[in-house]
């Protein structure tokens, strides 16, 4: 954490713009370089990867994994927690360096469910209420929750979001699938619309947004205040700027940002695989998959695409 007092009001952003575009929290991927990149292509708000609140509040070493700067605004720090005290302490530590704090109630992974975090909370309104209350009583930074729809009873999802609203949550993001569904299954637009109609605060929709037409469909069918994209932005960071696939200028910009941020070879390689997947031949893909160092990746980009690192 390296920058303070540069915060931008997310709540004002919701007031000023009828439609908000958001980069989702993604493990490993939604870090500083990528957040800065997508802001250049129409993203209004960017989330950090999910952070474990109990580890963050206890370990100075763990806190080093979150860095921010004057270009990283507005940024929402997402925490996973099951204990209100852990979440409140983590929120207090990060508040001077964040524009918003989000409670993850949607991670569908089995390990998270066993740890009583993520989607486990989407089925437990009382626990979410307690944690939102703890954050709101500790910090003045806006607070949100990100949920999935209930696996079988949307009345419980409605109860969840209404309790969160009563505790003062500032906006809600809802993923239109339950924790058991695969990412290839259709989005439940009606569930998202029901959430939107059940509260008076802004609602963001997550799931199935890979193009501007997908975003338009989401707005038309749910009347939400904004859309969030994860895999869509990984494949095409410029999607909210109207590009059908990642332009090479965007790839080049990411390479330079990644090098400047000190991004690991592993993350650099994965991001580029996502961005270039639609234009790579099978032969090139095999070659690219074998590259194991940043210089080798840069040489490949220069040879195949004329992309140069300017640093």
Whether residue 121 contacts residue 128, with contact meaning beta carbons closer than 8 Å, is answered with yes
Whether residue 91 contacts residue 141, with contact meaning beta carbons closer than 8 Å, is answered with yes
Whether residue 237 contacts residue 41, with contact meaning beta carbons closer than 8 Å, is answered with yes
230 annotated as a binding-site residue: yes
DSSP assignment letter at 15: H
175 annotated as a binding-site residue: yes
CA atoms in the 13 A half-sphere facing the CB of 256: 12
207 annotated as a binding-site residue: yes
Sequence-ordered list of residues with C-beta below 8 angstroms from that of 245, at least 6 positions apart, any chain: 235, 236, 278, 279
Whether residue 93 contacts residue 57, with contact meaning beta carbons closer than 8 Å, is answered with yes
Q: Tell me if residue 23 is catalytic.
A: no
225 annotated as a binding-site residue: no
49 annotated as a binding-site residue: no
Start-to-end CA span in the chain (Å) = 24
206 annotated as a binding-site residue: yes
146 annotated as a binding-site residue: yes
Catalytic residue, candidates 23, 105, 107, 143? 107
27 annotated as a binding-site residue: yes
224 annotated as a binding-site residue: no
CA–chain centroid gap for 106, Å, is: 12
Query: Which residues are the active-site residues?
Result: 107
Q: Which residues are annotated as a binding site?
A: 25-27, 78, 146, 175, 206-208, 230-231
Q: Which residues are annotated as a binding site for FMN?
A: 25-27, 78, 146, 175, 206-208, 230-231
């Amino acid at each position: 954490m390296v920058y303070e007092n540069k915060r931008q009001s997310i709540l004002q952003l919701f007031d000023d713009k009828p439609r908000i575009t958001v980069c989702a929290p993604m493990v490993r991927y939604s870090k500083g370089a990528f957040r800065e990149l997508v802001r250049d292509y129409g993203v209004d708000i960017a989330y950090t990867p999910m952070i474990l609140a109990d580890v963050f509040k206890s370990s100075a070493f763990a806190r080093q994994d979150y860095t921010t700067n004057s270009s990283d605004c507005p940024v929402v720090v997402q925490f996973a927690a099951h204990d209100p005290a852990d979440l409140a302490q983590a929120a207090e530590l990060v508040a001077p360096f964040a524009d918003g704090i989000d409670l993850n109630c949607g991670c569908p992974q089995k390990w998270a469910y066993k740890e009583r975090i993520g989607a486990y909370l989407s089925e437990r309104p009382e626990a979410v209420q307690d944690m939102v209350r703890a954050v709101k009583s500790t910090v003045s930074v806006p607070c949100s929750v990100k949920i999935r729809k209930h696996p079988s009873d949307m009345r419980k999802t409605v109860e969840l979001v209404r309790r969160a609203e009563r505790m003062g949550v500032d906006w809600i993001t809802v993923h239109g699938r339950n924790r058991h569904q695969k990412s290839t299954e259709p989005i439940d637009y009606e569930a998202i619309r029901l959430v939107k109609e059940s509260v008076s605060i802004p609602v963001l929709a997550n799931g199935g947004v890979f193009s501007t037409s997908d975003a338009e469909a989401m707005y038309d069918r749910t009347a939400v205040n904004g859309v969030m994209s994860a895999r869509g932005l990984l494949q095409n960071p410029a999607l909210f700027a109207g590009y059908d696939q990642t332009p090479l200028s965007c790839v080049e910009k990411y390479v330079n940002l990644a090098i400047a941020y000190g991004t690991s070879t592993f993350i650099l390689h994965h991001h580029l695989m996502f961005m270039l997947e639609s234009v790579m031949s099978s032969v090139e893909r095999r070659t690219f998959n074998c590259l194991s160092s940043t210089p080798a990746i840069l040489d490949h980009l220069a040879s195949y695409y004329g992309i140069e690192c300017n640093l």
